[in-house]
A and B are shown apart, each in its own frame.
Chain A
Amino acid sequence: MSSCHVITQHLPNADLTIALAGNPNVGKSSLFNRLTGAHAETANYPGKTVALNLGVMQFDGRRIGVIDLPGTYALGAHSEDQQVARQAVLENPPDAIVAIADATNLERNLYLVLQYLDLGLPLVVAVNLMDEATRAGIAIDAARLSGDRRAPVVPTIATRGNGVAELIDAAARLPRATHAAPEYDIEIETAIDALARTICATLAETPYRLTPRALAILLLEDDAELTRAVAQTSGGAAVLARSRELSAAIEARVGEPLSLHLPRARHALAREIACHATSQCAEREPLSVKLWRASIQPLTGIPTLIGVLIALFAFLFWAGGTMAEAFAGFWEAFVSPPIQAVVALIFGESILGKIALWGFDAGIEAALEIGIPYVLTFYALLALLEDSGYMNSIAFLVDALMKRLGLHGRAVIMLLAGAGCNVPAIMGTRVLTTRRERVIASTLVVLTPCSARTAVIAGGAALFAGWQYGAAILLISLALIIATGVALSRLMPGRSDDLVMEMFPFRVPTPSVVARKTWFRFREFILTALPIVLIGSFVMGVLYETGAIWIFSAPLAPIVEGWLGLPAIAGLTLIFATLRKELALQFLLTLALVQYGSGADNLLSFMTPQQIFVYALVNTLYIPCLATFAVLRKELGTRAAIGIATFTIVLAVVVGGVARYALAIL
């Protein structure tokens, strides 16, 4: 499939397409949500995780396709966000680019705007967050910013919809208008002109049909992709030789290559334009900035961080537990009876009917009972942390710790997401740049107790054996995550990338952005987990209803009974919990009823608190579930997936045994 189709197949019959471009955290998503409402979807280029949001809006009787590009600082190819934004614009040039700039930091935001203008694309600038600028005492003169023949400029407050209609109106008129390209100093302009002339004279066709000037700028900046592309065309070698010659001539005078000198000139131009259009009435520091500063000062920031994390998990357990209970009641009263009736109608009282109920009734209920209360709540909290900007403060404070684990501060997001569900967290590691970091991060995510395992810890160990046992399991997991990270970062060859992260003051999160982010992550969880949970439930149903499950009891005895000191049936549930981890506990009670009779509806009737502790600990540590294994295999390859799985199984058995004997001594 040609990747060009990614955009066109999602936006058929659009009269016009516009692309929203801009730095991260400038309100791009708010604007996109406001323009397209609920009619939006995501699309991925083959092999890329960073998604494009696509939607359609009606304006003035026209269908306008809207593409929300990933937020980036520049048009390079440094990270996957940049690659995706660039590919979308180059392969399928939109009719207009709406460049969203942060009014409180025009200078830095204009850099990207100038890069788009260098490409020769029709563009309108939205100066967004005007309300925040006003609060900070900054006034912006849109007419001055637009200048004589530059792109149109519209001040906006996207969260409230101010200026949005004017913006789209300006964008819709754009294709007929033309504006001048940015002008750099005479030396650079001479080099660009000279190279553009060579390109005109030499190349029959430019890559992506770029204008000669746009291509000249990219080549002089040493753009890796276009240098490769030009090298493959006939006459390309001559163009590249000319580019090097011009670049060397400038470097001899200014002392740095054009690949650095041109960005410097662009920053200077951005500063000049921004200064010309901005006036700082008074230097005011709004409350949000003061709070933000406090959140990264070690003395105030670290206690706050600990408090926030405790509050986060406390809320998760309280809200998740309450909702799970309500959901179970709802399912039992309204959903389960019709399903049972339909199954009885088709299969009667046969064994097939019982197996069908394992899947369609208990299976779906289990997936949703974990999914909706815990995963959905967790992702909503995570989106709040990200959208408010507090996530960056966390990354800043924990970078030193994460570095010792072979990762940088931003990877903490994946570990936190892993506490919701490992599957999307492992997918999220794709934004890390090296394989080394991805392997380390994925391994640590697998060791992070997800909400399914936490449910077993809370509902098994903490409920039956005592809260201190539950807390001990969480602490042991944390210690093992740290130890594993430290060991991996020492043992694995290579080194990890350093943190380079923008820090920005807090913003009030936009509900629609938080809701959309939560929904997309949740949908990913359901789509990945539900099929495997269903299949797993049927397999368990077959094994249980046919009695085949007891066959596995004897071979496991040396490890389960001998080393871990657990009843044989506990070992069986550990094996089959890889299909449905969260059901380990329920499964244990079910088998206990079969094995020990009706008195065994309490774990304590056939297991000591110590045994329950060892059981929940082993259940927490070994390879979480088939869905996680499947996603590990997809992301890192079969060998790495088997390696990580084997590691966690060995770790679980060793730590479980050690815990058993340690408790015996205590």
Chain B
Amino acid sequence: MLRFPLQSGSPRDEPAEMILLTLARAEENGATLTRDDLARELNAASLDLLQSLISQSLIALNGGALALTPAGRERARALLRRHRVVERHLTDVLGFDLPGAHVQADELEHRVSAETTQALAEELGNPATCPHGNPIPSAPAATPLPTRALSACAAQTRASITRIGSETPAALQHLATLGLLPNVEIEVENVAPFGGPVMVRVGRAHYALGRNLAARIWIKEIENS
């Protein structure tokens, strides 16, 4: 019988760990995945492992949607932490560029131990985010999940951006030059019909943002006083 002990450092666990990571990233972006989505994202063969992960109570199946159980989430967050701390180290200490660091971290996340990750993080001064700007889950405590996606807001909502969950640094920098940054106040002025763009006001400037992009921008509503 196959067993998946899921202990760090064993390359054999890689396919199972990829499933957990994929679900965790989707969860961060507020998306839920089905078995088919997973098959598209990953090697289809690794889906055989899914049943095993479900039987280990790391993943739950609610209707068609896959969700991490608390135990699965804890495991996945540890993996995300490894990936992002390793990326930090690669860019800040070893001078990798961002795409290179991401590729290397994809390899190393399955092999680096929790102790090494902790040591690396401490040496880096416990950074809050990876070089792409995504939060590094802290070792014990949970990072609060963002409240709402911009794409889910109605017109006339005033809000503050909490996080931009885009993976490419170039896109983040471009949004930054337009003034779309965390902790910036915005107002949703208009929402185009049929899944069209969202028009937001930042200061006196107005931008139309595609709905997919808006789904990756997380906001906290501001009460009207």
Contacts and interface: CB of A to CB of B under 8 A. Distances in A.
Interface of A: 73-74, 76, 78, 104-105, 107-108, 111, 221-222, 224, 237, 240-241, 244, 248, 251-252, 255-257, 259-260, 263-264, 267, 271, 296-298, 302, 392, 395-401, 403, 408-409, 498-504
B174 A400 contact: no
Interface string B85-96: 000000110010
Which 3 pairs of residues, A with B, have the shortest CB-CB distance? A498-B210, A74-B177, A400-B196
A602 B73 CA distance: 76
Contacts of B169: 222, 259
B190 interface: yes
Contact of B203 (A244, A251, A271, A409): A271
B195 interface: yes
A78 B178 contact: no
A76 B173 contact: yes
Contacts of A221: 173
Given A256-B129, A259-B176, A396-B196, A105 B205 contact: yes
A241 B193 contact: no
Contacts of B35: none
Contact of B210 (A241, A267, A271, A500): A500
Nearest to A395: B208
B212 interface: yes
Contact of B173 (A252, A259, A302): A259
B204 interface: yes
B41 to A, nearest CB: 13
B64 interface: no
Contact of A260 (B92, B125, B133, B192): B133
Contacts of B208: 392, 395-396, 399, 409, 499-503
Contacts of B124: 248, 252
Given A400-B195, A400-B196, A263 B211 contact: no
Nearest to B190: A296
Given A401-B194, A503-B206, A503-B208, A251 B181 contact: no
A267 B92 CA distance: 26
B172 interface: yes
B127 interface: yes
B95 A240 contact: yes
Contacts of A259: 169, 172-173, 176
A399 B192 contact: yes
B6 interface: no
17 contacts: A107-B204, A107-B205, A108-B204, A224-B170, A259-B169, A271-B203, A297-B190, A392-B208, A396-B199, A403-B211, A409-B196, A409-B197, A498-B211, A499-B210, A500-B175, A500-B208, A501-B207
Given A257-B133, A400-B192, A104 B204 contact: yes
Given A108-B204, A271-B203, A498 B192 contact: no
Nearest to B213: A498
B70 interface: no
Contact of B174 (A78, A255, A399): A78
A399 B178 CA distance: 20
Contact of B209 (A392, A498, A504): A498
Interface string B185-225: 00000101111110100111111111111000000000000
B122 to A, nearest CB: 12
B128 interface: yes
A459 to B, nearest CB: 36
A224 B206 CA distance: 28
Given A74-B177, A409-B197, A499-B213, A251 B95 contact: no
Contact of A108 (B131, B181, B182, B203): B203
B173 to A, nearest CB: 6
Quick one: which of A244, A256, A297, A395 has the most chain B CB within 10 A? A256
B85 to A, nearest CB: 13
B182 A248 contact: no
Given A244-B95, A257-B129, A500 B176 contact: no
Contacts of A76: 173-174, 177
B192 A397 contact: yes
Contacts of B174: 74, 76, 78, 500
A502 B206 contact: yes
Given A297-B190, A498-B209, A267 B199 contact: no
A297 B195 CA distance: 14
A267 B182 CA distance: 13
Contact of B212 (A237, A255, A498): A498
Contacts of B127: 248, 251-252
A392 B205 CA distance: 14
Contact of A111 (B179, B193, B195, B212): B179
Nearest to B92: A248
A400 B212 contact: no
A430 to B, nearest CB: 19
Contact of B177 (A224, A263, A302): A263
B131 A500 contact: no
Contacts of B196: 396-400, 403, 409
Contacts of B211: 400, 403, 498
Contacts of B203: 105, 107-108, 271
A257 B196 CA distance: 32
B125 A222 contact: no
B166 to A, nearest CB: 9
